[in-house]
Structure 1
Amino acid sequence: MSKRVLLVDDDLALCELLAQYLQAEGFDVCSVNSGSGAIEHLAKAECDVMVLDIMMPGMTGLEVLQRVRADNAIPIIMLTGRGDDIDRIIGLEMGADDYLGKPCNPRELAARLRAVTRRAQPGAAGYGAAEAVITLNNITMNSSTLAVTFNGEPASLTGAEFNVLLVLMKSAGQALSKQNLTREALHREFTQYDRSIDVHVSRIRHKLAESGLSDIIRSVRGVGYQMLLLENDAL
C-alpha cells in the first residue's frame, strides 16, 4: 500500500515539483499550502507522514508542529530554508522526526520519507515474536506494538525517539557513536554538523527524568552515547 504523504508548503511550484517526483516514486501525495490547511486536513484524513515547511505566512510550521504533537504521533520531516541550524534544532526539540534544508533534493526527501515511515511501523526493528519485548533499567519497549513504559507507566515517544532508545537498549553497556546511532536508529548516514541524535537523546532524557529515571544515558566524550547497565535484566 502506498504511503500517504501530506506535503505542507506555501511555495506552490515547489509543492508541484515534489508531489510529481514522490508520486513517481510510489507515494500517495496530498499538498496543502498553509499551516491551517494542514491542521484541517489531518482532522479529516489519514496520513502516514508529513513534510512540513517551517517558514510559512500565518500559522508557521513550528506552530503546526506544536499543534500536531499535542495528540498525534505522525512522523514529521521539517523543511528548513535558513542557513543556520536554529530552526532545525527547535523543530527536533518540539518533536519533529527529521529535517532537510531547502532547496531539497527530491531523491533525498524520498529516502527520508521511506526511512521515517519504515521505523514507525510495528516490528520494524526486526525482532521475532519472542524477542519483541526488552526490559532494562525499569524501561520496557515492545517493538511489535511500539508501546513503551517508564517505571511501569506508559510513555509517549516519537518514532525517532523510540528507535534511538531501542538501539541504546539493545547495546546497553556499550558506547555507541553518533554515526552508528544515526545509521541504526534513523536509517540514514550521519552528516557534519548533524544535531539530530543529540536532540533526540536530550528529549528522551527529559522524558525519562519526568518518570524518575535520570542519568541512565551517559554522554561519551568524542564518541556518542551509552545506556548504562543499572540492573541485571537480561536483554
Structure 2
Amino acid sequence: MARVMLIEDDHSVRESLRLSLGRSGHDVEVARTGEEGLRRMSAAPADIVVLDLMLPGLDGFEVCRRIRAGGPTPIVMLTARGDDLDVVSGLEAGADDYVVKPVRPRVLEARIRAVLRRGGPAAAAAPASAGPETHGDLTIDRGALTVVKAGVPITLPPTELRLLLELSAAYNQVFSRQQLLESVWELDFLGDSRLVDACVQRLRAKIEDVPARPRYIQTVRGFGYRFGPL
C-alpha cells in the first residue's frame, strides 16, 4: 500500500492509528512532534502524511506549510474538533483533507485511499488531449500532467492539479461546490465546501497574477466556480 508518516503527540491515538493503518497494509512511520516528523520525512519521504494540528513545539499548521513548501506530498490533518478556524487554517496551510477526532480508523483509511487515488496515474480529470492547451499565459498538458505559467513550470499538489484539470476541461462551464467535491475529492455525499474554497484559494495563489482579482478561476456567487480566462 503506502508509506504513511503519522505525526501525533498523543500516545494512545498514535498507537491506535499505527496499528489500524498497519492492518490495512500501510507501512506506518510515527513521530511525536512536528520537528521529529520533518526530520524523518527528510531522511525517508512518505507517500502521505497524517498530521495532528495540536502538536507541542512546532504546531501542525507550520508543519503543514513546511511540507507543502517542499513538494506535493498529500496531507490529511487531524483536528480535535470541527472548529471552523482550525479547519480553514489547516486547509489554507496546504492540507488536502481533514478528519475530526475522535478518529474512526475506517474513516481515516477511506480518506487516505481517496487522497492517494487523486495523486495516482489516473490523476487527470479528463482524457488527454492531442497536445498542450494554452489559456492566456497558462499552458496545461493533460497527458503529461504539467502546468506552465509564462514559461515557468508550476508544481501543483495532486488535489490542486485535479481541480484545475476538472475546471479547465469544460471552458466557461459552472461547477457547483458539490459537483467538485464529487469529481475531485470523490465525496459522494454532502461534503464540506471549505475543501473546495481553500483549494481554489491555494490554486489561485499559483496561477493568477493577482489572486484577489482572478483571471482564470472565476467565482459564481451562490453556486461555485468556472474556468474562463478574461
- Report if the CA contact (8 A) 2:51-2:76 is conserved: yes
Partner of 2:218: 218
Matches within 5 A, 1:1-235: 2-125=1-124, 133-189=132-188, 191=190, 193-210=192-209, 214-228=214-228
- Report if the CA contact (8 A) 2:7-2:49 is conserved: yes
Q: Give TM-score, length-normalised by structure 1.
A: 0.87
Q: Structure 2 counterpart of 1:215, which letter?
A: R
Identity %, equivalent residues: 39
The verdict on how the C-alpha distance between 1:129 and 1:160 changes in structure 2, with shifts beyond 3 A counting, is closer
1:145 and 1:104 mapped to 2: Cα distance? 37
2:193 and 2:127 mapped to 1: Cα distance? 32
| C-alpha distance after superposition, 1:83-130 (max 9, x if no partner) | 422121111112111111111221111111111111112442266665
Using the TM superposition, give the Cα deviation of residue 195 of structure 1 relative to its aligned residue in structure 2, in angstroms.
0.5
Q: Give TM-score, length-normalised by structure 2.
A: 0.89
1:28 and 1:131 mapped to 2: Cα distance? 39
> In angstroms, what is the RMSD of aligned CA positions?
2.3
Runs of 5+ in structure 2 lacking a partner? none
- Report if the CA contact (8 A) 1:178-1:190 is conserved: no
Runs of 5+ in structure 1 lacking a partner? 231-235
Higher mean C-alpha deviation, range 36-45 or range 14-23:
14-23
The number of residue pairs the alignment matches comes to 229
Using the TM superposition, give the Cα deviation of residue 209 of structure 1 relative to its aligned residue in structure 2, in angstroms.
2.3
| C-alpha distance after superposition, 1:135-186 (max 9, x if no partner) | 4343223344432112322113222111111100112211101111111111
